[in-house]
């Protein structure tokens, strides 16, 4: 008898891959319930499926793979206690989020007339994603400060208070857990420089919505991709207050989705001994390399650079779509046309240095 796998229907590049080895049932993430899991051996999910006691206690599931960088939708303590193995896809969309952060930053700065030369970029959370954001910032001439709870990281880290006081731009790339929930609070925001930029592209629950609204006037730019209460209960007041607002699509690149699915399938293959899929990778489209321009320079040139980034990733189109119909949050995510990531050249002559 074939083993049974239940998979989120919206995971791309997955249909047909496991069928030679398993009976696969595809469902929308929120429709994966205890009844359908009861006789399943494995789950392949995204963030919309909460995996814990309520879903799996009466099932025979032995393995859960999520095709996402985050695992806060997995009750890992309970899974471990129940003897259920699990895995995420760390770093799968890190380059996509890097692209989002810099595209959003330069787009918003151009729209509001903020000169980015000589600025300090603070990255809170210097793991897979944050480190890529930081490295591109350095290539573009920013002074970059990093903070992370993981002191074992190779990056040079500074205390959070120091980063907040020194940075003109603060970008958050944290996992959601008991420590980080509500971290962007009155206390944290009061330490940021007046006129600074705040970017949250990790998890909405890392921020206190009321605190963001109270301190909004101290920020020159507010960029939000993630929200408390998503998909249906996001704050309309915060949506109106943000300079760029998007429906949790920062990591939604073609390459990121390919890698997330590949990592999930390979994990399932290793767990169940499906040798032909242990090195699985979806067939991907071969595209020309998209390189960043290397000398934007002046504010006018920064605006041109922003337009170049938007040619690759038209971020304001999705911003307008969300503002026009906040209730379509989940539909916008589901129907989002995956953009392609850009390639970062290794030789960049610090185009945003103070002198131009």
pLDDT digits (tens, 9 = 90+) for 258-289: 899 999 999 999 999 999 999 999 876 655 45
Q: Which of 248, 266, 333, 339 is catalytic?
A: 248
Tell whether omega for the bond before 231 is within 30 degrees of 0, i.e. cis.
yes
Summary mean pLDDT of the chain: 90
Active site (annotated) includes residue 203:
yes
Q: How confident is the model at residue 72, as a pLDDT?
A: 83
Strand 42-45 with 85-87, pairing: unpaired
Q: Which of 48, 132, 203, 339 is catalytic?
A: 203
Active site (annotated) includes residue 230:
yes
Cα angle 342, 347, 353; round to 5? 95
Give DSSP secondary structure letters for 309-351: HHHHS-HHHHHHHHHH-GGGHHHHHHT--PBPPPBPPS----T
Q: Which of 135, 143, 216, 230 is catalytic?
A: 230
297: confidence class by pLDDT, cuts 50, 70, 90: confident
Active site (annotated) includes residue 237:
no
The model's pTM is 0.84
Contact 173, 151 (CB under 8 A): no
Which candidate, 132, 127, 129, 171, places its Cα nearest to that of 151? Answer: 127
The fraction of the chain above a pLDDT of 90, given in percent, is: 74
Contact residues for 225 (Cβ-Cβ < 8 A; gap 6+):
100, 104, 200, 201, 245, 246, 247, 248, 249, 250
Contact 227, 250 (CB under 8 A): no
Q: How confident is the model at residue 289, as a pLDDT?
A: 53
Domains of the chain from N-terminus onward: 3-88 (3.40.50.720), 94-252+289-334 (3.40.50.720)
Q: Which of 19-23, 138-142, 227-231 has the least mean pLDDT? A: 138-142
Report the chain's terminal Cα–Cα distance, integer Å. Answer: 69
Q: Report, as an integer, the average pLDDT of 199-214.
A: 97
Contact residues for 90 (Cβ-Cβ < 8 A; gap 6+):
69, 127, 128
Q: Report, as an integer, the average pLDDT of 248-254.
A: 92
């Amino acid at each position: 008898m074939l083993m049974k796998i239940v998979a989120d229907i919206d995971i791309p590049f997955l249909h047909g891959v496991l069928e030679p080895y398993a009976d696969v049932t595809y469902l929308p993430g929120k429709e994966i319930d205890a009844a359908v899991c009861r006789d399943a051996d494995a789950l392949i999910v995204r963030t919309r499926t909460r995996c814990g006691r309520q879903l799996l206690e009466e099932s025979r599931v032995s393995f859960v793979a999520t095709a996402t960088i985050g695992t806060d939708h997995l009750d890992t303590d309970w899974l471990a206690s129940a003897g259920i193995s699990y895995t995420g896809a760390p770093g799968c969309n890190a380059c996509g989020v890097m692209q989002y952060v810099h595209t959003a930053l330069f787009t918003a700065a151009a729209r509001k007339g903020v000169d980015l030369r000589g600025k300090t970029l603070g990255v809170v959370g210097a793991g897979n994603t944050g480190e890529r954001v930081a490295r591109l910032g350095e290539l573009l001439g920013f002074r970059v400060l990093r903070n992370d709870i993981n002191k074992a990281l190779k990056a040079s880290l500074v205390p959070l208070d120091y980063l907040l006081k020194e940075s003109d731009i603060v970008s958050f790339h944290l996992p959601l857990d008991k420590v980080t929930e509500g971290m962007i609070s009155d206390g944290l925001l009061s330490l940021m420089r007046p006129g600074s930029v705040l970017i949250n592209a990790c998890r909405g629950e890392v921020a206190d919505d009321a605190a963001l609204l109270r301190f909004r006037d101290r920020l020159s730019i507010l960029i939000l991709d993630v929200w408390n209460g998503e998909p249906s209960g996001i704050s309309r007041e915060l949506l109106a207050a943000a300079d760029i607002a998007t429906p949790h699509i920062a990591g939604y690149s073609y390459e990121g989705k390919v890698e997330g699915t590949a990592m999930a399938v390979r994990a399932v293959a290793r767990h169940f001994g499906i040798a032909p899929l242990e090195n699985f990778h979806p067939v991907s489209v071969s595209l020309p390399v998209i390189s960043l321009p290397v000398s934007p320079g002046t504010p006018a040139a920064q605006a041109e650079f922003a337009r170049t980034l938007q040619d690759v990733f038209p971020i304001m189109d999705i911003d307008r779509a969300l503002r026009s119909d906040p209730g379509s949050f989940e539909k916008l995510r589901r129907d989002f046309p995956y953009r392609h990531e850009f390639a970062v050249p290794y030789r960049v002559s610090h185009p945003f240095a103070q002198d131009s």
